Amino acid sequence: MIKAWMSRSVAALALTLSIGVGAARAQVVEIEYWQYTFPQRVKAINELITKFQQANPQIRVKHTDLPYNDYRTRIAAALPAGQGPDVMQLFYGWLGDYTRAKLLQPLPADVFPPARIDAEFFPMVREMKVDGQYYALPTAVRSLALFWNKRLFREAGLDPEKPPQTLDELVEMAKRLTRRDAGGNLTQAGMAVDPAAQDHHWWREVLVRQFGGTPYSADGRTVTYTSPQGLAATRFFADFFTTHRVAEVGFMTDQVTQFRSSRAALTIDGSFRLAAFDGQRGLEYGVTTLPTHNGIASNFGSYWVNAITTKATGAKRDAAARFLAYLVSPEAMELWLREVGELPARVEVASTPANANHPKYGPFIRGLETAVATNFVDETAQRQIMIDFVDRLKIAGASVEAALAEAARAEQALLDRANSPR
Amino acid sequence: MTGWQTARPGRVIAWTLLVLGGIVMVMPFVFMLSASLKYNHEVYELSLWPKEPTLDNYRYLFQETRFVSWFVTSLIVATITTLSVLFFDSLVGYTLAKFEFRGRQVVFIAILSTLMIPTEMLVIPWYILAKDMGWLDTYWGILFPGLMTGFGTFLMRQFFMSVPNDLIEAARIDGVGEFRIWWQVALPLVTPALSALAIFVFLGNWTAFLWPLISTTDKDMYTLPVGFASFTGEFQTEWEMIMTGAMVATLPALVVFILLQKYIIRGIMLAGLKG
Amino acid sequence: MAQSSGFGGALYEGLTIGQKRAVTAWLFLALPIVFYALVRFYPTAQAFWLSLTNWNLLTAPGFIGLANYQRMMVDPVFWQVMGNTLLYLALGLPLSLGLAFLIAYHLDRVRVGHAVIRALYFIPHITTAVAIAWVWRWFYQPVPVGLFNEVLTVVGLPQQPFLRSTTQALPAVLVPAIWSLLGFQIVIFLAGLRAIPQSYYEAAAIDGAGSWQILREITLPQLMPTLVFLCVLTTIGLLRIFDIVYAMTGGGRAAPGGPLNSTKPLVLYIYESAFSSFEMGFAAAQTVVLFLILLAITMIQLKVSKK
């Protein structure tokens, strides 16, 4: 009752105001753009907005950035009040959640013809297509690579310029790079393992495939990693902290801290980490493509996408589409690579010789060719299942089979819930 | 009470234990201070003394962030809220403790029950209200939900209950108005509780996070905790900055505490004289 | 307040003393009641209503009866979370109140360095949970960096997993929670102790009462309102525990409340239901349950204290 009364009085007030203002600012459409706070991203978007507005003087873009950890909370609070963005950035793995909540609308096919997008963007971007319609597009994409600590290699008597090329070499080197004190406590990890960071991706899309399995069925609705091949891949992963004992989950709180502080010699991470490692004094490291196995190379790709929310209608929707088209243009991608250090999402922009042979970006760009993006229904929940798997193994003392079966059961239930019509 | 010179051995032991306990209590805080004086590359070594102590993090905080705006917002919000709470909560607490009327218990339980709903469930209705009223991104919008608290009302009611009734009756016989009895007779007797309330309300608003986060998008309207939240990114957290922020944020709260704890002691003397 | 003027004034003059006082009371309460109705009771009532719907923030809420409550009853995570929450209370309440009273009681009698010692105990309460959690998480680490395990190994005991254990994690999270709660409780206890009129003690001293007797017969009974207040507030605080758990267990990209939900309290589950899964109806149903539990416990505590 109170709310209805207030809404009415506010509506009356708004009407009075808009009559006055509307006449003065005819034809200018203002749209809102939201992303999370990260200095380089904020700066890049501001530059893109300036350029876009020069080319489209009838459109104004209001840019808001919000703390990363609370991004979803803020969106959740804004939506019921009819507030929030017209165009927003979201992690590609959230798309399922957001479309199910009817938060996003499909990109207009006249501005974004699906066939051209299929041809021009890296194949993993097709995950953004639901029933033949694209819902979101990235400016940049990410892949994984292997980082190694050159100083620790030297200390262990290994050639600091020869990182492991295969999984077998990876295990052998990790063993030689592990240090324990007299009491048997880990003081230096051969390999940083952390399912909460990038390792759950590495296991799902890289290891399982390299051992000859697939993580999910082709339609993405059934868990298939409990196959003998999947089990072998899982054992290989678990061996790092169970049998070989070259890693400990939670050592130095997390994976990044282990590698930054030179307490882990090897780690798998994304190109977004380069800046943090470069800023770490005393850390001498190299990057190479992920180790192969059985001659199979695979990679995990991920990206943040731009999407149009259901809030945008009429002229705002058209303006939103125009702005989004600019955000995924080659020009914007070049700027993004320069300012943020993330790889262009269009094949032709990424694969220039200069980019592909770059000492640090190169391994990531080469990894894009084999990169698969998991068709997540809820990335946070699916990652948590992998974290719980490791906890069951390490803390609850379950066997690999039992823990994997439990993970598959939980994940299948999640997939079933998401795929059942509401 | 006895002075130092007449102290018994038991007292000395108690004192020593208290001081040792206090040092243990403050140790984690010392680690935070130390982390705020370290460079990024050293912060992961949990040594107490920085190898290369630096004020660089503080310089960054003051020069590269909107620290001053955040500080001002926090200060305005915490101060206004504290004043409002002191006035209203003590008035309501007094009414509930010292007036006999039908419905008193219901009002008390109803106000107390406001403590039992987690803020997480209230923020969405508040947001809709604030948006409809045009309060988003304003000081008023950040502070309106906290103008009165069940916590303070309960605290003040408990303390007013121990104020002797004869004092109030005596004032009534003298023909003093009810409002003035509260203001001039009852309130001075509970100064320790008022000071304690002021400390906690100030602190509570100083460190409040969820509602200030949700009700503001304008960076200049952020409170300190919301501003500091941007030091946590998608893949990494700038811990040395979080620690620096925590240090700088703690200081004003500590000042408020030290100032007000004097009133707690002074208040006792008053209460002691009259009691 | 009670100035008479015009018709209303005449009406007021016709009332008995008791009625006049009641009018004054309601006059004092008028503005606060409007405030609470708008900012607290209305959203609370709304949560009760939402608990019967399937609201997901975007589409209009649809009435689904008690389905959210049924789901809760068969949800193993809900029961685990409920158990955790009660464990936080069962361990935290006696431990924190006992320690706080012990410290406050002795601190009250200290003259030398009183203000400084008091500040030492209060500082943890001023610090934000995020910063506290970071330091404590490092304390709990394995060697070579973890302080506690370092001490254990030095005295020849085996390392403990602390936060990496389903049985030790909850107490390990509770310790910093109590650590920061103590400052609050001590200050309230001190205010309560200081509010006891000095003359009571003087009279007891003249009667030749011992300090134990004074504690039992004067201090504790006089401290009853303070004790009730702290009991109720600490109970509410522990049943609503959130920040410290979130910060202690959620670092990195793991969902907070782990490992395997062993530290997850109810409010964290509510928060996740509402803001991660957008299941507002389910979150509201859990809120209603929390509300009813808190109300019941508080009423019992208030009743018991009257005796």
Mean pLDDT of C20-24: 89
Which among C113, C117, C124 has CB closest to B29? C124
- Residue of C49, C108, C134 to mutate for B, most B C-beta atoms under 10 A: C134
Provide the token pair at C78.
Answer: 């809900």
Chain A positions in Cβ-Cβ contact with residue B241 (cut-off 8 Å): none
Judge: A76–C145 Cβ closer than 8 Å, yes or no.
Answer: no
CB contact under 8 A, A253 and C251: yes
User: B18 in contact with A at a CB cutoff of 8 Å?
Assistant: no
Least confident piece of the model among A311-320, B39-48, C273-282 = B39-48
Same domain as A307, residue A179: no
| A4 → chain B, closest CA residue | B132
What is the average pLDDT across C8-21? 78
Same-domain pairing of A295 and A311: no
CA C148 to chain centre: 27
pLDDT higher than 60, residue C3: no
Mean pLDDT calculated for residue range B112-133: 89
Domain boundaries, chain B: 1-54, 61-274
Q: What is the pLDDT of residue C50?
A: 92
Residue A13 located in a structural domain = no
CA atoms within 13 A on the CB side of A386: 26
CB contact under 8 A, B45 and A38: no
A410: distance to nearest CA of chain C, Å?
A: 13
- Widest pairwise Cα distance in chain B: 72
Instruction: Please state the domain extents for chain C.
Output: 1-50, 69-306
Domain assignment present for A293: yes
CATH number of this structure's domain B61-274: 1.10.3720.10
Inter-chain residue contact B104 with C25, CB threshold 8 Å: yes
Alpha carbon distance A202, A247 (integer Å): 16
Is some CB atom of chain C closer than 8 A to the CB atom of A183? yes
- Which region, left, alpha or beta, applies to residue C241 given φ > 0 means left and ψ of -120 to 50 means alpha? beta
B5 or B140: which carries more pLDDT confidence? B140
Residues with Cβ within 8 Å of residue C231, at least 6 apart in sequence? C93, C97, C301, C305
CATH 1.10.3720.10 correct for C69-306: yes
Please tell me the predicted confidence (pLDDT) of residue C307.
66
Does B235 sit within 8 Å of A276, measured CB to CB?
A: yes
Contact partners for chain C, using 3 or more CB pairs closer than 8 A, are A, B
- Give the pLDDT band (50/70/90) at residue C77: very high
Under the phi-then-psi rule, with left for phi > 0, alpha for psi from -120 to 50, and beta for the rest, what region is C156?
left
Query: Please, which residues have CB within 8 angstroms of residue B231's CB and are 6 or more apart in sequence?
Result: B237, B238, B241, B242, B245
What distance in Å separates the CA atoms of residue C175 and residue A235, rounded to the nearest whole number? 36
More confident residue, A101 or B38: B38
More confident of the two residues C255 and A126: A126
- Per DSSP, what are the bridge partners of residue A267? A147
Q: Using a CB–CB cutoff of 8 Å, tell me whether C177 touches chain A.
A: no
**Contacts with C, B 39-98, CB within 8 Å:** 45-46, 88, 91-92, 94-95
Give the residue from chain A lying closest to B123, CA to CA: A77
Q: Is C135 on the interface with A (CB under 8 A)?
A: no
Across residues C283-303, what is the average pLDDT?
93
pLDDT category of residue B7 using cuts at 50, 70 and 90: low
Please check whether residue B233 touches A, CB under 8 A.
Answer: yes
User: What is residue A96's predicted lDDT score, i.e. its pLDDT?
Assistant: 82
Q: Above 90 in pLDDT, residue C239?
A: yes
Q: How far is B234 from chain A (nearest CA, A)?
A: 6
Q: What is the mean pLDDT of each run of 10 residues along chain A (422 residues)?
A: 44 42 63 90 94 95 89 80 89 84 90 94 91 94 95 96 96 96 87 91 96 93 95 96 90 85 93 82 92 95 93 93 96 90 91 87 91 87 91 90 95 87 53
Q: How far apart are CA A350 and CA C14, in angstroms?
A: 89
Q: What is the pLDDT of residue A10?
A: 44
- pLDDT of res. A256: 86
A152 and A207, same structural domain?
A: yes
The confidence score (pLDDT) of residue A16 equals 42
Distance CA B92, CA C195 (A): 20
pLDDT confidence bin for B269, thresholds 50/70/90:
very low
pLDDT at B1: 43
Residue A16 forms part of a structural domain: no
pLDDT at B179: 92
Q: What is the pLDDT of residue A13?
A: 42
Q: Using a CB–CB cutoff of 8 Å, tell me whether A74 touches chain C.
A: no
Residue in chain C lying closest to A83 (CA): C58
- 3-state SS assignment for residue A137: strand
Question: Quick one: residue C141, left, alpha or beta (phi over 0 = left, psi -120 to 50 = alpha)?
Answer: beta
Q: Which of A8, A9, A37, A142 to mutate to test the interface with B (most CBs of B within 10 A)?
A: A37
Same structural domain, A407 and A286 = yes
- Band (pLDDT 50/70/90 cuts) for residue B124 is confident
Contact A197 C253 (CB under 8 A): yes
CB contact under 8 A, B26 and C47: no
What's the pLDDT tens digit per position in B55-100? Answer: 989 998 898 888 999 999 999 999 999 999 999 999 999 999 999 9
Residues in C touching A391 (Cβ below 8 Å) = 166, 258-260
Q: Nearest CA to B48 among A181, C139, A255, C182?
A: C139
Instruction: Provide the number of structural domains found in chain A.
Output: 2
Quote the tokens at residue B179: 């409002």
Q: What is the DSSP string of A21-81?
A: HHHHTTT-EEEEEEEE--HHHHHHHHHHHHHHHHH-TTEEEEEEEE-GGGHHHHHHHHGGG
The reported pLDDT for the residue numbered C159 is: 85
Q: What stretch of H or E contains A299?
A: strand A299-300
Q: Does B255 touch chain C (CB under 8 A)?
A: no
Contact call for residues B115 and C235 (beta carbons, < 8 A): no
Judged by CB atoms closer than 8 Å, whether chains meet at C194 and B151 is answered as no
Query: Which chain B residues touch C145 with a CB distance below 8 Å?
Result: 45-46
* B102, B254, B262: residue with CB nearest C126: B254
Is the pLDDT at C39 greater than 90? The verdict is yes
DSSP B165-226: HHHHHHHHHTT--HHHIIIIIIGGGGHHHHHHHHHHHHHHHHS--HHHHHH--SGGG--HHH
Q: How far apart are CA A211 and CA A205, in angstroms?
A: 11
8 Å CB contact of B148 and C18: no
The reply to whether C297 touches chain B by the CB within 8 Å rule is no
Contact C165 A395 (CB under 8 A): yes
C127 in B contact zone (CB under 8 Å): yes
Residue A170 lies in domain: 144-300+377-419
Within 50-69 of C, beta carbons closer than 8 Å to B belong to 57
Instruction: Assess C254–B contact: CB distance below 8 Å, yes or no.
Output: no
| Residues 6+ positions from C178 with CB-CB distance below 8 Å | C92, C95, C96, C99
> Residue A108 is part of a domain; what is its CATH number?
3.40.190.10
CB pairs under 8 A between A and C: 83
Residue C84 C-alpha, separation from nearest chain A C-alpha, in angstroms: 18
d(CA C242, CA C259): 16
**Beta carbons of B213 and A256 less than 8 Å apart:** no
Which tens digit of pLDDT belongs to each residue from B219-237?
A: 889 999 888 887 777 766 7
Residue closest to A215 by CA, chosen among A407, A416, A421, A419: A407
Regarding whether A161 and A256 lie in a shared domain, the answer is yes
Q: Look at C2 and B22 and tell me if their CB atoms are within 8 Å.
A: no
The answer to the question of residue A209 being in a domain is: yes
Is A278 in contact with B236 (CB distance < 8 Å)? no
Q: Residues near B122 by Cβ (< 8 Å), separated by ≥ 6?
A: B145, C40, C43, C44
Which pairing describes strands A179-180 and A299-300: parallel, antiparallel, or unpaired? unpaired
How confident is the model at residue C14, as a pLDDT? Answer: 79
Q: What is the pLDDT of residue B268?
A: 47
Average pLDDT rounded to a whole number, residues B249-264: 83
**Subunits in contact with chain A (3 or more CB pairs closer than 8 Å):** B, C
Chain B residues inside the 8 Å CB shell of A81 = 127-128, 131-132
Task: Report whether C222 contacts C196 (CB < 8 A).
Answer: yes
Q: Note the pLDDT tens digit of each residue in C191-206.
A: 888 878 778 888 888 8
Give contacts of C 56-75 with A, CB under 8 A: 56-59
Give C36→chain B minimum CA distance, Å.
8
Cβ contacts (< 8 Å) between C146 and chain A: which residues? none
> d(Cα C256, Cα A143) in Å, to the nearest integer?
26
- Residue A1 falls within a domain, yes or no? no
User: What residue type is assigned to position C137 of the chain?
Assistant: R
Smallest Cβ–Cβ distance between B229 and the set A70, A76, A256 belongs to A70
Q: With an 8 Å Cβ cutoff, is B230 touching chain A?
A: yes
Q: Which residues of A touch B217 (CB under 8 A)?
A: 64, 66
Residues 206-225 (B) with a CB less than 8 A from some CB of A: 210, 213-214, 217
Whether chain C has a CB inside 8 Å of the CB on B15: the answer is yes
C-alpha–C-alpha distance, residues A30 and A112, integer Å: 22
Higher local confidence (pLDDT), A405 or B132: A405
- Cβ contacts below 8 Å, chain B against chain C, sum to 251
Q: B10 at the C interface (CB within 8 A)?
A: no
